[in-house]
Each structure stands twice: as structure tokens, then as C-alpha cells.
Amino acid sequence: MDEQTALGRITVPELERVLGHTWRVLDDGFVRAVDYLGSDQAIVQAARVSYGAGTKAVHEDTGLIRYLLRHRHTTPFEMCEIKLHVRVPMDTWRQWIRHRTASTNEYSTRYSIAIDRAAGTDPGAWRLQSSRNKQGSAGGLPAEEGGRLTAREAELQAFARTVYEERLAAGVAREQARKDLPLSTYTEAYWKIDLYNLLHFLGLRMDEHAQEEIRAYATVIGNEIVSRWCPIAWQAFKDYHLNSLTLSALEIEVVRCLSGGDRDGARRLAEQFGWLTMRDGKLRRNRERAEAWRKLRGLGIDPPWPE
């Protein structure tokens, strides 16, 4: 559990032991926790507007944190902050930096020479564009084709680096010399964020639909760092968000019908909701219907319509 120093600063021994530790991600990326403020105990203190090293039993603190997260009382979670040092490919960093609720300071290629590393792709890791999701992937290329693409990737990255270094050697300003570097080039940043917004980030980026590369970083941050830092809040987050199932009002109506054995009634509801619209004799694609289908299957219920 948390301890306090003579100055009253909350410390977390499990996290203290790994401050500065490097968790490798992708081929040359990493995540490090370098500093933090607060802990599970700070969440409890803020919620109770109390001071000192805990005023309730551990099981009561656990119950309070779980209640706060379950009912979306978010302010106490903002009392905790963490600062990470990350190395990440620029294309992945573009997705990362969209989360504007953090303080960020990134490695500058205007002041410094660009990091001489670019993220490579293993021959078996080339993914196909999903036919059902414009921003997602599904399946992979054959290994032979992947090997050819990997070789070409390495050539492209090496050529871009050579041109960049030629520009620097010719005296071109760094801010201009960098303009043709590939998005696979690694960058580094310090990223400071409170626990509430970090959990929001992880909820999106650990999701199975998130891009694989940023999901790899999010998984390390959650499972290796947040789990040590605020274990009670992390378990509650997994229970109520990562591994939970949320039903819409429409889905609840359908489940009520199915629980009463009325499959025809459930199908009629789906038709009323516009989930079963036909076009040219074929069932039109409907994302809400597909999501409801997956939720029902997850509950062990056989949906009365195709996915």
C-alpha cells in the first residue's frame, strides 16, 4: 500500500522500484515512468476532503474508489499525475498527441539532429486494409509479399536518411533538412497527464479496434505502470471499462424480448430501429446492428439477425 514521507508526500513503493525502467515497445521504442504525484490514497483523500495517511480501512477505500469510477465522479482521479518519457514513431505519435489533455514536450528536429532510427515492419506484420472499416486493418499479406515490402521499406528509410544527412552536410538548416524524413522516424517526448485523462486515453488506445502500434504502447502503460501506481483504480477501470459491456436503451429493449423468449419481437424491434434495412434484396451494412450482435453473442445470446 501507499506510504508517506516525513514531508507528507504520498509514495508508491511498487512504482518507485521501476521509476526510470525502460519497457521496450515495437523495434526501438520505449516507455519510462520518470515521476508521479499521488496514488490510490490521493483519490480517497480528495473524495473525502481529508488529510493524512488514510482514515478508513483498506476495503472501504477500495469500495470508495470503485464507487467513484463506477458513477463517473472523475475529479478525485485528477489529483494523481504521472510523467512518462516515451520514444515512438512519428505516425503513431500523431495519434497520441491528439489527446490534448496532457502536457507535452517533444524532441525538436529544429534544434537537434533527427533520431537515427525508423520503425521497421517484419515480413509477417504487413496488414491488409479492412473492407468494413475505412480506418482499420484486417488480416495480413502473405509472408513472401511481406518480405518484399520489408526490403523496400528498409531501402526507402536508408535513402531518406542519406538525403537528410547530405542536406545537413551542405549546411541546410535543420528545420528544412528534415522535411522529407519518413513518418516512421522515431521521436521522443515527455508526457505528463492526470489519472482521469490517462484512463480515458487507455480506454481508447487499448481497445481492440485501436491501431496495433499505439495499442502496444497503451498496453505497456496500463499493465506495467498504472497497475503498479494505482492498483485499486486500475482494477476498477478494468472491471467497469476495459472488460465491461454497455447496453444502449435500444439494446436493452431487445435483450428484454429475448430473455422472455420472444425472438420475433426482438427482430421486429431491430426493424423499427432501422437495423435491418434492405437494398437490392440484400441486408445493408449497419454498424449499430453489428455492435449489438457482438454484445449479444458476448452475453451468450443468439441474435435473431445476422451480423
pTM (two decimals): 0.90
Domain spanning 3-112+185-242: CATH 1.10.274.10: no
Domain ranges of the chain: 3-112+185-242, 123-180, 249-298
Euclidean distance between CA atoms 97 and 280, whole angstroms: 43
pLDDT in tens, 209-262: 899 999 999 999 999 999 999 999 999 999 999 999 999 999 999 999 999 999
- pLDDT-based confidence at residue 6 (cuts at 50, 70, 90): very low
Task: Report whether pLDDT(181) > 90.
Answer: yes
Euclidean distance between CA atoms 89 and 104, whole angstroms: 16
Task: Report whether pLDDT(68) > 90.
Answer: yes
Please name the residues in contact with 253: beta carbons below 8 A apart, sequence gap of 6 or more.
Answer: 269
Active-site residue list: 205
Choice between 129 and 137, residue whose per-residue pLDDT is larger: 129
Euclidean distance between CA atoms 121 and 147, whole angstroms: 9
pLDDT at 253: 96
Is the CB of residue 41 less than 8 Å from the CB of residue 10?
yes
> Strands 81-89, 29-37: parallel, antiparallel or unpaired by DSSP?
antiparallel
> Which amino acid would we find at residue 80?
C
pLDDT in tens, 254-299: 999 999 999 999 999 999 999 999 998 899 999 999 999 999 999 9
For residue 87, the SS3 value is strand
